[in-house]
Each structure stands twice: as C-alpha cells, then as structure tokens.
Structure 1
Amino acid sequence: MDEAIVDAVRACADAGGLPVPATQEAVTEAEESIGFPLPPLLRRLYLEVANGGFGPAEGILGVRGGASQGDWNDLSDIHQGGPDPSGQIPAGLVPVYDWGCTIWSLIDVRDPVGPMWCTHEGHLWPQGINLAQWMHAAMEGTLTVEGILDSEPAL
C-alpha cells in the first residue's frame, strides 16, 4: 500500500499542486523537535515527493519550508505550541491536519506504522487506522470529518 500512496502523491506533485520535497535537514530538525523519528512512510513522502500539502483538502502540514495550515507553519511549530486546550495530548502524538472547529488528526510517531488519532474539544481517541490507511481514504475521498467524529468513543 505504501508504494501506491507514494505514487499517487507523486502524481499530484508532478501536476504542480504540491510543494517541493523537504530537505534532509528540515526533516531531521522536525524529528529532533518532536523527540521521535517520523514514521517511514511520512518521512519518505516528505523527502521524496512533497513537503506536506497532500492528504485531505489542503493537505497535511509540512516540515520547515513546506505546507502550512492556518496559524501553524510546520510540524515543529505545531508540536511546540499545538492546539491542545486540554493539555492531554501525550508526547509522540503530533497534529498533522486541522479539520476545523477544534478537530485535529494526529499521527503517533512512536509507532513506525503511524497510527492516527483525533482530538476534539479536549477528547482524544484513536481513529483505528494508520497513516497508510488514512492517506488511502483521503485519496479515495472517503476520509471525512464526519467519519472521524463517528469514531469518537462514547463517554
């Protein structure tokens, strides 16, 4: 599945819709700031294809010099001052995509497959998919904020 995702994102980049790939220095800087290595698929997408901007709608945040989102310039920026009003996001979960209305998708960089999480109004829960599945659903157009919120466990 990783190869298909890389190819699909590369096709978007080749069409001119994405930033140029990240530098090795920018990726290393982000990893040092976060305190964990990026999952291999995300690292590969940044270095080989595009520095963010891929995924749902306007795409995920890049590393330094890449795609920004709202008030956030890159993964390091959001990790350091991120959108966690509850203060409950553990180390290693990094916000990568803002759905709006305080809803964020996060990637768990502690695990090489990159499990995806969600935070909304102080609640945090696993989305039940990894980065490759998340990206596949985004490319198919089946990854929606409604689906993300439907995965929220009942409290």
Structure 2
Amino acid sequence: MTEIEQLLTRVADKARNTRPWGWTSLPEPVDAAAVARAEAALGFRLPPLLADLYLRIGDGGFGPEYGLLPLLDSPPAGEPAAVTQYLANRESARQDPDWPWPEGVLPISHWGCAMYACVDCRSPHTTVLLFEPNADDADEAWYVDAPSLEGWLRAWVDGTGWYEEASEGMEMAPWTDLRIRTAPIQAS
C-alpha cells in the first residue's frame, strides 16, 4: 500500500469516527461527474489527493474545525461549497483589487471569522494556505499552513496541527507569492 493510500485510509477512519463542528453525519462521497463539473466551473483540475478525498471519503464534513467544505452543493443552512466560495472570492477581487484572490487557490475549509484553509491547486506540492482576512491588508492575510495537502491531512489525523492545544504558539510563515500569483483582475 502506498503512503497516499495509507493516508487516505487513516483520514477515512478518522472521518467516520469524528464530526467537525456543525456536521451531524459524514456526507456520501461525490461521483466522478461531480468532480468534472467542479473542475469545469473552476477552470482548473483538482489535485489528485483532493479529488480522492471527495470521491472516496465524503463530500465535506470531515477534517479540522468546521471540516472540509462540500465540493459543489451546500448542505442546508451550511457553509457555501468550495467551488461557490472560490468563485465568490474571485468576483469579490474584481470589485476590490486591493484584496486579490489568487487564481487556482481553492478554499477547502472554514476556520471561522472569515478565515479559510485553501489548497493552491497550481502548486506542484498542493501547498495549503491560511487566508486570514482580518489583517490590515491582503499582503498580511496569507500564510503557509502546510507545505502540502498530504502534510496538512497528516497533521489533522496525528493531532499536530497549529489549531491543536498542544501546538499553541506555533508560527506560520507568510505566503509571499500573493502578488506574483495575482495579476490584476479587470472589472467586467
């Protein structure tokens, strides 16, 4: 069994046995057609590990804090779907260019207070970023949460993420690629 397969097994086990805040059950996984629709709406492909989470474990509802967002459809009275949130963030950036949203950076989990864990779908390592919009400006709102989605998931299943009590005081590095990755978005 590969390391990724082992990780997916561990994530699936934890997903079946724990509920993030606000989720009463683990949603069914999506099918390949849903992933294709999501990719068409986004304009880019999901990294294989992220697609596998939705295809094999569930349509959100597992993971740290509020858990992964659903991919395409919001649960009743729940968080917006990842695709919906990404498209809204990109549109908001068109309206307010001082707060750009990088192309290919998909919000996957809500932390509360408008903060999101996001996967950089254009990064070869699928870097997980923390978007913290309560900063004074956009250049101070992005941090590297984990160098890879694989590492982010391992931190969750191992209980070693920055959000764990035992990890208090852990510092995240700023994500310095924001301006490189955000070409000016023209108003429509």
Q: By the TM > 0.5 criterion, same fold? A: yes
| Deviation digits for residues 8-58 of structure 1 (CA, Å, limit 9, x no counterpart) | 222245559421110112111111111111111111121122112222133
| Deviation digits for residues 66-87 of structure 1 (CA, Å, limit 9, x no counterpart) | 7689541x11111111387753
Q: Looking at secondary structure, tell me which structure has more strand per residue.
A: 1
Give 2:171's aligned residue: 150
Structure 1 CA distance for aligned equivalents of residues 168 and 77 of structure 2? 21
| Deviation digits for residues 87-125 of structure 1 (CA, Å, limit 9, x no counterpart) | 322100011111112321110111353111111123223
One-letter amino acid matched to 1:49: I
Structure 1 CA distance for aligned equivalents of residues 54 and 4 of structure 2? 13
Q: What's the TM-score once normalised by structure 2's chain length?
A: 0.68
Aligned: 1:54 with 2:62: yes
Give 2:107's aligned residue: 95
Aligned: 1:106 with 2:124: no
The verdict on how the C-alpha distance between 1:18 and 1:26 changes in structure 2, with shifts beyond 3 A counting, is: same
Aligned: 1:80 with 2:87: yes
Query: After the TM superposition, which residues 2-151 of structure 1 pair with which residues of structure 2 at under 5 Å, given as runs?
Result: 2-12=4-14, 14=16, 17-65=25-73, 70-72=78-80, 74-82=81-89, 87-121=99-133, 122=138, 123-145=141-163, 150-151=171-172
What runs of 5+ residues in structure 2 fail to find an aligned partner? 19-24, 177-188
Task: Indicate conservation of the 8 Å contact 2:142/2:175, yes or no.
Answer: no
Percent identity of equivalent pairs: 28
Q: What's the TM-score once normalised by structure 1's chain length?
A: 0.81
Structure 1 CA distance for aligned equivalents of residues 174 and 83 of structure 2? 29
Q: Which has the larger radius of gyration?
A: 2
The verdict on how the C-alpha distance between 1:78 and 1:96 changes in structure 2, with shifts beyond 3 A counting, is: same
> Across the two proteins, how many residue pairs are aligned to each other?
154
- CA RMSD in angstroms comes to 3.1
The verdict on how the C-alpha distance between 1:12 and 1:100 changes in structure 2, with shifts beyond 3 A counting, is: same
Structure 2 CA distance for aligned equivalents of residues 112 and 154 of structure 1? 15
The verdict on how the C-alpha distance between 1:27 and 1:149 changes in structure 2, with shifts beyond 3 A counting, is: farther
Residues 101-110 or 60-69, more deviating: 60-69
